[in-house]
Amino acid sequence: MNLVRATATIGGLTLVSRIAGFVRDMLMARFVGAGMAADAFLIAFRLPNLFRALFAEGAFASAFVPMFNRQVGADGGDMGNAKRFAEDVLAVLLPALLIFTLVMVITAAPVVWALTGGFPDASPQKFALAVDFTRLTFPYLMLISLVSLMGGILNSIGRFWVNAAAPILLNLVLIAGLVFFHGADDVASARVQALCVSLAGILQFLWLLWSCLRADIRLRLRAPQLGPKVRQLLRIVWPAALGAGAVQFNLLISTALAARFLPEGAVSFLYYADRLNQLPLGLIGIGVGTALLPALSRQLGAGNDGAAAHTQNRAIELVLLLTLPAAAALTVSAEPIIRTLLEYGRFTAADTQATADALAAFSLGLPAYVLIKVLTPGFHARQDTRMPVRIAVASMLVNLVGNLLLIWRFGHVGIALSTAVAAWVNAGLLWWVLNRRGHFHVDARLRRALPRFLAATVAMVLVLIGLGLVLAPYMTGLLLVRALALALLIAAGGIAYLGAARVLGLFTLAELKSQFSRKGR
């Protein structure tokens, strides 16, 4: 498997999704803003997103994909038994999802109260809106979980692009809702967004179902049976849910504290900042992690530990090449980025400054967020999901303590900073355990590259700071002027980084051409 090419496929489609997501966030900032209605919707949307990240995407993919691939490998490439395994999983998953969704819809009020404390800073209307929006959005969890099952199968047979394209539908539906059906006020517009979330889940489900049928993958509905393989999957999923969802748990803790103890708008500031911070994570971390897990599973299944170590070293090399400059750029240029993208309509200059401060703090942990996605498959490919859980719990405790220490002095920025610190603790412990067990060692090539990555990033930061001062007057004008100024700033920073990286010998044009060719390895 060509890791760079697979990552580029997933990352490219994720880029389209994230661009659509930015358009969605710009429209949401314009029509909903960063006040009561925005906070209520974002709390409601956080809940299905949390469970999606824990059980549907992160945990399920981490457990299901290696087992599915090992079955295919054991059968010499035949898909029969692997498809039967997927049918058995579906038979258990579907009724469990139906029951869980129904329970969450019925108990939405106490769940939202437990998360927010009833929004002590606001009127009862805000709590009522959050409960109402939660009931509208939560069916999305059931739909996206079924999407993850079908997406895991398609990823296992190398059709990464289908599942990577599914999030685009979510953003397009939410955009359409804001453009064509936004209400007269922020509350009506937020309600449209909540309805569109579940509608998008239906479209994503139909897209994956159609793609599976085209790939001759037809899963029959069976009576639920807890066979040996399904029981093994369930044993792996629960700890994997905690391990894969550490960042999501940290964000949930942050959201809960912001809702309980900070003024109105804090939840929205953290959301908008996190959305921008998630762009490189989606493009690089999820892309590399998705492509890496099947490769490691097959290499380890074949007893080729050396190839697995080499694959993981190159994955880390790739993500550092891309995430170090992204983190630096988001940190030093946070304000012009937020102003250009979001400062319209109901989103004010004060909202821009508050969101930019949070983005700068979040971005300090960006390389760690991505490294977690690359290091965790080293455990899951060996069917060890317990150790990532322990590490995730440790990082969650660090995040909780950091939040409680920093929130009173730095407000929502302290929450973002604590989340970044917790991510570094998570990534550092994952690396330490893999290294101690002899499963992963930084090779000579990666050691030589690390100081050069940092030097190229410093060169880019100097360009961004200098040019940012020159372009500052143009960052507050008309939309076209802002966009052109921001594009010039980003382009100059990117050219400075790539130029420095090339001079320092971090890559050659021949290597890039080889990696993106079909025969490149």
509 pLDDT more than 60: no
> CA 163 to CA 345: how far, in whole Å?
34
Is 41 in contact with 193 (CB distance < 8 Å)? yes
DSSP code for 136: H
Task: Indicate whether 253 pLDDT > 50.
Answer: yes
pLDDT at residue 521 in the model: 42
Q: Give the best-scoring range by mean pLDDT among 221-225, 275-279, 312-316, 428-432.
A: 428-432
d(CA 293, CA 236): 15
Average of pLDDT values for 346-355? 88
pLDDT digits (tens, 9 = 90+) for 330-350: 999 999 888 888 887 778 888
Please check the confidence at residue 298 and state whether its pLDDT lies above 70. no
Q: What is the CA radius of gyration of the chain?
A: 22
pLDDT band, residue 517 (cuts 50/70/90): very low
- Tell which residue, 283, 331, 291, 332, has the closest CA to residue 312: 291
Contact between 191 and 106 under an 8 Å Cβ cutoff? The reply is: no
- Picking from 197, 282, 407, the residue whose alpha carbon sits closest to that of residue 22 is 282
- d(C-alpha 74, C-alpha 85), whole Å: 13
d(CA 274, CA 35): 17
The whole-number pLDDT of residue 261 equals 85
Q: What are residue 233's phi and psi, to 5 degrees?
A: -60, -45
User: Confidence class of residue 518 from pLDDT cuts 50, 70 and 90?
Assistant: very low
CA atoms of 38 and 18, how far apart (whole Å): 20
pLDDT digits (tens, 9 = 90+) for 389-445: 888 888 888 988 999 899 988 999 999 999 899 999 999 999 999 888 887 788 888
pLDDT confidence of residue 355:
93
Cα separation of 413 and 360, whole Å? Answer: 9
Q: What are phi and psi of 110, to 5 degrees?
A: -65, -30
Return the domain boundaries, the chain. Answer: 3-442, 450-521
Place of tokens 């980084």: 497
- Mean pLDDT, rounded, for 355-363: 94
Amino acid at 139: P
Q: What is the pLDDT of residue 204?
A: 92
Other Cβ atoms less than 10 A from the Cβ of 348: the count is 17
Are 313 and 445 a contacting pair, CB within 8 Å? yes
Which residues are CB-neighbours of 403 under 8 A, at least 6 positions away?
253, 254, 257, 414, 415, 418
Q: Could you give the percent of the chain with pLDDT greater than 70?
A: 84
Residue 457 has pLDDT above 70, yes or no: yes
Give the rounded percent of residues in the chain with a pLDDT score beyond 90: 21
Alpha-carbon distance 464 to 476, whole Å? 18
Query: How does DSSP assign 172-191, residue by residue?
Result: HHHHHHHHHH--SSHHHHHH
Give me the pLDDT at residue 501, please.
86
Instruction: Evaluate if residue 464 carries a pLDDT over 60.
Output: yes
Mean pLDDT computed over every residue of the chain: 81
Contact 482, 339 (CB under 8 A): yes
Q: Look at residue 291 in the predicted model and tell me its pLDDT.
A: 62
Higher-confidence position of 305 and 326:
326
CA distance 513 to 167: 29
- Helices (H), strands (E): how many in the chain? 23, 0
Q: Are 380 and 293 in contact (CB under 8 A)?
A: yes
225 CB neighbour count, 10 Å cutoff: 9
Q: What is the pLDDT of residue 295?
A: 67
Report the pLDDT averaged over residues 476-487.
83
DSSP class of 508: -
Contacts of 384 (CB under 8 A, 6+ apart): none
Q: Which of 374, 403, 402 is nearest to 388 (CA)?
A: 374
Instruction: Please write the tens of the pLDDT for every residue from 37-65.
Output: 888 898 888 878 776 666 555 566 667 77
Taking only the tens place, the pLDDT of each residue in 6-38 is: 656 666 777 788 788 878 888 888 888 878 888
- Kindly indicate the confidence band of residue 287, based on its pLDDT and cuts at 50, 70 and 90: low
Does the pLDDT value for residue 322 go beyond 50? yes
The distance from CA 29 to its chain's CA centroid, rounded to whole angstroms, is: 21
User: How many other C-beta atoms lie within 10 A of the C-beta of residue 106?
Assistant: 11
Q: Tokens 């960042």 map to which residue? A: 247
Q: Which two tokens stand for residue 146?
A: 């079924």
Give the pLDDT mean for 464-469.
Answer: 91
pLDDT above 80 for 119: no
pLDDT at 151: 83
Which of the four pLDDT bands, split at 50, 70 and 90, describes residue 177? very high
As a whole number of angstroms, the distance between CA 169 and CA 201 comes to 8
E strands, 288-392, are none
Asked if residue 5 has pLDDT above 50, the reply is yes
Output 465 or 3, whichever has higher pLDDT: 465
pLDDT of amino acid 107: 92
**45-49, 51-55, 75-79, 303-307 — which is least confidently predicted?**
51-55
The amino acid sitting at 325 is P
User: Is pLDDT above 60 for 285?
Assistant: no
Calpha distance 482→319 (Å, rounded): 30
pLDDT at 458 over 60: yes
Residue located via tokens 């090399």: 317
How large is the average pLDDT for residues 64-74? 75
